[in-house]
Structure formats: structure tokens, C-alpha cells
Amino acid sequence: MGMTITEKILAVHAGKEKVYPGEFLSCKVDIALGNDITAPIAIAEFRKADVKKVFDPAKIALVPDHFTPNKDIASAENSKILREFAREHEISHYYEIGKVGIEHVLLPELGVVVPGDMVIGADSHTCTYGALGAFSTGVGSTDLAACMATGTVWIKVPETIKIVFQGKLGPWVSGKDLILFLIGQIGVDGARYNALEFTGPVIDALGMSDRFTIANMAIEAGAKNGIFIPDDITRNYVNNRAERLYDFYKSDPDAKYIEEFVYDVSDMEPQVAFPHLPENARPISKVGTVAIDQSVIGSCTNGRLEDFRQAAKVLKGNNVDSRVRLLIFPGTQQVYLDAMNEGLLEIFIRAGGVISPPTCGPCLGGHMGVLAKGERAIATTNRNFVGRMGHPESEVYLSNPAIAAASAVLGRIGSPDEL
């Protein structure tokens, strides 16, 4: 019996010829990641253990992105903890204001994470890097502390579910719609502690931006990790940015899967996830009349240049409804610069939108877009739990960038086809 790509990467990092689902491993880590919410806790535990040095300053990334630019004294203090720890231990992958971006957009962009890596991060959306053909998963802050000291992580090998998307995507349908549709089919716990392996002709044709979006939301189905088989599209993305040599792995033809789901998505419409779970997905034609107060385009899910191109295509020549606030959040400084050079930011501003520096702020209801009681937002973010973006009596609807842009103009959730 062969192995899946997930099993192969874990085997290599555990120093074993073969691994099996359910087996517990101690794996060497290529990148360990923390942000301004989770890393201060990890740093405190690291110091409590009286460890003098991190295992490898080149294999730790600290990215203050959640409450930055600092929204208050507490967030400033947390960022200071990261800054001082990075200087003390000469951590090379530390990114301050001016160079910072949303961690899961920034690290692939800079080539810090590469195919074949074993990555852990004290942030649940660390699973994003599976788009590159890496094993990446979220852990707790104490696990991050132990990894910063030892360079290893303890993990149970997950069983793998194969997801096959067949057909051809229609207009305004993207990777965000594929993952919302899937979560709608299997539920937020449908892949609990499983690896989700995405394959099929639709996946083969997707660009990296859409692959990142899909991998990013694997956690919303309860998955341990989401992963793609790397190919020429992957190679073209990483070739000019990878900091290190990388390895392409693929699943064996006789690899064992716990389940396989096959979907023909040729007739799929753009999807909208209703409150208060990502699994509450329905096609745009079944949304009805849902007025909104805010539209958010960005985040680690849909904050890349391709996402803003999609939104700008919809917004060009249109004006945001007077009752709606349109917020644009580029994933990194480079995305911001590229969007500016392409004229996308001017389109957003002329339409009535506002541009934020790269930050996770609005996604978690932290700052730069918090909702008041009774308000509704449509967002290209990844979660719409109760109180996720602000007041517990507010509502968040999830969509792709084109739907979020069209909704900002319409004043209600709707499609670009209505404009």
C-alpha cells in the first residue's frame, strides 16, 4: 500500500520509510510561526522553561499582523514582546510595520515556506501553505514554545479524504466558491482531524491564489490540513521566490483514502455562507434580499492581487451604495503596491471604498471594521461565527471578492450580473 502526499511529507520529517494513519510521530519542523496574539504566550512559556536559544533562528517566523498597526496599548505591548524576542534571538523572519503583511499571504510571497515543508503555526489558518504541497497545520501556543526550543512537533498522522472537482468553472466562480460549497456539503466537522487532498481537472486549472484560498479554509471543515499536489503552476510560483531548495511530493496511485468525494461543478453558482457557520452555504440565486452595512474584501483568504483584480472588474465605473462601507485589505505591502501600480486602488477609491494597510483586524473583529449591534457585513474572510467581526448580534456573510464587490454597489447581497 502506497502513501498519500500528507503521509510522505510526515514520514520524511519523522525520519521514517513509511507512516500510517493514527500513528504518533515526532517530526522535525521547517518553519514555526507565531503572530502578535499567539506568540507572546509562546514566548512566555519558552522563557519559563529557561531555554537559552531557539533551535534555529532561520526557521522561526514572527509576524505581528492581527492588531497591527497597533490599535491600543495592549496590542503595542504584544508587538514589543515579539520585536524584542526576535532581536534577542536574531530571528531573520520577523516582519515589522512597513514590511509586514498578513502572515499566510506574506510567507509564501517571500518564499519562506516552500513545497515539501513541514510547517506549524500558532494560528489555525496555517493550513494555507498546503496550496504549495507542504504539510502545514495550526497548533497551540505551548506547542509553538516547545517547537521553538526543540525544532520538533508531536503529531498524529491523519487519514486523508480525497476531494475531486470535475467540470469547468463558470463566470464569477472561484476557489472561494469551491471551498464554501464543499463545507456546505460535508459540514464544519466533516473532515475532523483528516487531511483534505484537493484534486481533479478543475483544481489542475486553478492559479495559486485560488489554491491558497481553498487550503486556507480547510480548517473550516475541521481538517488537520488541506493539501494540493504540486505541479508546474506551483513551480512557476515558487521558482523566483523560494529561499531554500524544495521537494515535490505526490500521492501514490495505491494510496489509501478514508473517503473520496467527486463533484461536477460546471453548473455551480457563486456561493454565500449565511450566519453563523461557513457550512450554511447556498448559491447566489437562493440568497434572497439581504441588505448589508459593510463589505470587506481582503484577509488571508482573499487578500491577494488576483482577488483585487476580480473586485475591481466589478467596481469599475460603479459607486458603492450610500448605506454601505467598503473596506479593502491588501494581504501584504507588495499586494498593496501591485494593486496601486495596476490602478486597482484608484478604482476602489473612486467607487467609494477605503484602503487599509495589511492587517487581520476586521476578520476577527479586532479593529479597522468592527460591526455594531444589528449590522450585517459580507466579507471575503473565512469565518462568520457569532460575534466574529464585532457585536454578537451582528451578522457576517462569506463570499468571493466579486460577490462582495457587487453587493457593496447594490446595497444588498447580489451578483455582478445584476450590475
Using the predicted structure, report yes or no on whether residue 97 has a pLDDT greater than 90: no
The per-residue pLDDT for range 204-223, each reduced to its tens digit, is 999 999 999 999 999 999 99
d(CA 217, CA 196): 11
Looking at the structure, tell me whether residues 410 and 305 fall in a common domain: yes
Q: What is the DSSP string of 287-340?
A: ----B-SEEEEEHHHH-SHHHHHHHHHHHTT----TT-EEEEE-SSHHHHHHHH
Is the per-residue pLDDT at 378 higher than 90?
A: yes
Tell me whether residue 267 is in a domain: no
Per-residue pLDDT reduced to its tens digit, 116-166: 999 999 999 999 999 999 999 999 999 999 999 999 999 999 999 999 999
- Write out pLDDT tens, residues 154-204: 999 999 999 999 999 999 999 999 999 999 999 999 999 999 999 999 999
- pLDDT tops 90 at residue 352: yes
Residues 276 and 258 in one domain: no
Residue 209 and residue 354 share a domain: no
Write the DSSP string, 75-94: HHHHHHHHHHHHHHTT-SEE
Q: What is the CATH number of the domain that holds 376?
A: 3.30.499.10
Regarding whether 123 and 161 lie in a shared domain, the answer is yes
pLDDT above 90: percentage of residues in the chain: 95
Cα distance from N-terminal residue to C-terminal residue, the chain: 53
Residues 295, 381, single domain; the answer is: yes
Query: Does residue 312 form part of some domain?
Result: yes
Residue 37 in domain: yes
Structural domain boundaries enclosing 373? 272-418
Give the residue from 356, 379, 359 showing the smallest Cα distance to 294: 379
Q: Are residues 300 and 159 in the same domain?
A: no
The tally of domains found in the chain comes to 2
Q: State the pLDDT at residue 67.
A: 93
Q: Residue 187 falls within a domain, yes or no?
A: yes
1: confidence class by pLDDT, cuts 50, 70, 90: confident
Same domain for 36 and 138, yes or no, is yes
- The answer on 313 and 169 residing in a single domain is no
Mean pLDDT of the chain: 96
Whether 142 and 19 have beta carbons less than 8 Å apart is answered as: no
46 in any annotated domain: yes
pLDDT on residue 176: 98
Residues 234 and 293 in one domain: no
d(CA 376, CA 355): 20
Q: How confident is the model at residue 405 (pLDDT cuts 50, 70, 90)?
A: very high
Q: Is residue 372 part of a domain?
A: yes
pLDDT at residue 403 tops 90: yes
C-alpha neighbours within 13 Å on the C-beta side of residue 348: 31
Per cent of the chain over pLDDT 70 is: 100
Q: Is the pLDDT of residue 362 over 90?
A: no
Virtual CA dihedral for 286, 291, 293, 297, nearest 10 degrees?
20
Residues 277 and 254 occupy one common structural domain: no
Same domain membership, residue 74 and residue 223: yes
- With a cut of 90, say whether residue 314 has pLDDT above it: yes
Q: Give per-residue pLDDT as tens, 75-84.
A: 999 999 999 9
Q: Dihedrals φ, ψ of 219, to 5°?
A: -65, -25
Q: pLDDT grade, residue 106 (50/70/90)?
A: very high
How much is the average pLDDT of 330-351? 97
Residue 376 above 90 pLDDT? yes
Same domain, residue pair 361 and 278: yes
